[in-house]
Amino acid sequence: MNLDLNLYESDDKRSKFARKASVRIGERANYVNSPHVIAMVGLPARGKTYISKKLSRYLNWIGINTRMFNVGEYRRHATSDYRNHDFFRADNAEAMAIRNQCAEEALEDVCNWLENGGGEVAVFDATNSTLERREKIRDVIVNKMGFKLFFVESVCDDPAIIEQNIMEVKISSPDYKNMNKDTALNDFLQRIRHYEEKYQPLDEKVESNKSFMKIYNTGEKVLVHKHEGHVQARIVYYLMNIHITPRTIYLTRHGESEQNLEGRIGGDSNLSPRGEEYARALAKYIEEQKIDGLRIWTSWLKRTIQTVGELRRAPQERWKALNEIDAGVCEEMTYSEIKKQYPDEFAARDLNKFAYRYPRGESYEDLVARLEPVIMELERQGNVLVVSHQAVLRCLLAYFLDKTADELPYLKVPLHTVIKLTPVAYGCRVEHVSLNIEAVDTHRANQRYQEVKDSWCLTVLKKNLIACRCCQLLILIVLS
């Protein structure tokens, strides 16, 4: 059987090639698929890097090739020995020259990546706190390169949020690796004062020609000015939903189902006896956690609803978006039946599991699009228990753990296990809690990786056998 690999090349790559071939550089800023630069603005410890990382993670998850460029990392590379806040004084000419050079190098890398590296959105993470600096960025990005530019300013006047950010993130940065906490805190506060002396917030009257968004106190209030196109619209909508309130998201699959026991995919079967036991154990576990304001979300399928049947104190919502991936003509079949009845489809799915779409069904790529509203709502919520299905939870985990499209379809989500996700400064803390009730293993490993591994093992085995035979011949010669 011959499979055409080009069939599984993403439409995104082809459209990117067409864009490069047909759009002249002077016209590109008005083109719907023009590369974007998201330039952060704000004083230190206002959550710019937090926003940059979350935004990059979200855009990559929905299939927009995004990369973050942090100017602080360029500065630390250029000057490895940070001494104190004097480096950030406006009258420190030598340090200012280094800082400007680092910003220019980072911006040059942004342009190279968008122009030649296949990038679609670059997040330029820096203070960009003066009108002069923002004009320079606009001149390079818009006037010279023809890209779209969108500024995102994080404004924070809540001392508690600022102090929390400094204590959780800033004093543990490489700049302060040799300082005690009190010295580091005082130094960083002085660094902020140096920036405040020259700080010029974005203003719709002074900078009416720029597209930008201002976020106050990490979501308390939002101002949007002159945003352009669907990419910026999605960015605005996403950033309007995020918050930093402490919370935990609990993910779990339904209890083992009757069709799990038979090795069948999809369907709408009831829980098995062990699945019913898990439902009782889950209710006990959640009750013991004493979770404030917990909300419970399930799919529309019986096995998830039955799994939360013993949880009566927390409000429950049913989401059709949380239904398992639609296997189309392969619904309620075993993998061996699919391989026998649809051999080409079976092979094609192993070739590119993320992009492969079941006939009359869905792909993981489709599933990500279906789950985007769920992610938006999860970002807005406090403590939530999501009871869903293997493919769905893989997609949600890939978002929170920043996994690639290649990794996503192979993430392990075992039955009868609760996955606790606790958002922290720049990511998520993950904890797997097994409730110690036996269940079948429905995980299917990456077959491409397995084939390579098996081939390598076979090669090693053959070499060892050849070596053994050579030794045997050598021994025979010596003995003779």
User: Contact 41/129 with Cβ under 8 angstroms?
Assistant: yes
- Within 10 angstroms of residue 9's Cβ, the number of other Cβ atoms is 13
State how far the alpha carbon of 400 is from the alpha carbons of 55, 72, 143, 221, 403, in Å: 12, 24, 36, 24, 8
CA angle 106, 110, 116 (to 5 degrees): 135
Q: Which of 308, 328, 301, 315 is nearest to 392 (CA)?
A: 301
Judge whether 255 is annotated as a binding position.
yes
Question: Residue 10, class by beta-carbon neighbours within 10 Å (0-12 exposed, 13-18 middle, 19+ buried)?
Answer: middle
β-strand pairing of 249-253 with 384-388: parallel
User: Contact 148/228 with Cβ under 8 angstroms?
Assistant: yes
The residues facing 125 across adjacent strands are 70
**Rounded Cα–Cα distance for residues 130 and 286 (Å):** 50
Catalytic residue flag (residue 194): no
Q: Which of 22, 36, 44, 45 is nearest to 232 (CA)?
A: 36
Judge whether 258 is annotated as a binding position.
yes
**Rounded Cα–Cα distance for residues 30 and 476 (Å):** 79
**Rounded Cα–Cα distance for residues 67 and 38 (Å):** 10
| Element (DSSP H or E) covering residue 417 | strand 417-424
**Rounded Cα–Cα distance for residues 376 and 389 (Å):** 19
**Rounded Cα–Cα distance for residues 59 and 119 (Å):** 12
Residue among 324, 362, 372, 379 flagged as catalytic? 324
94: left (phi over 0), alpha (psi -120 to 50) or beta: alpha
Give the type of residue at 41: V
Judge whether 254 is annotated as a binding position.
yes
User: Contact 303/269 with Cβ under 8 angstroms?
Assistant: yes
Residue among 36, 194, 254, 389 flagged as catalytic? 254
User: Contact 210/202 with Cβ under 8 angstroms?
Assistant: yes
**Rounded Cα–Cα distance for residues 284 and 276 (Å):** 13
Catalytic residue flag (residue 227): no
3-state secondary structure of 407: coil
**Binding site residue list for substrate:** 253-260, 303
Could you give the residue numbers annotated as active site?
Answer: 254, 324
**Binding residue numbers:** 253-260, 303
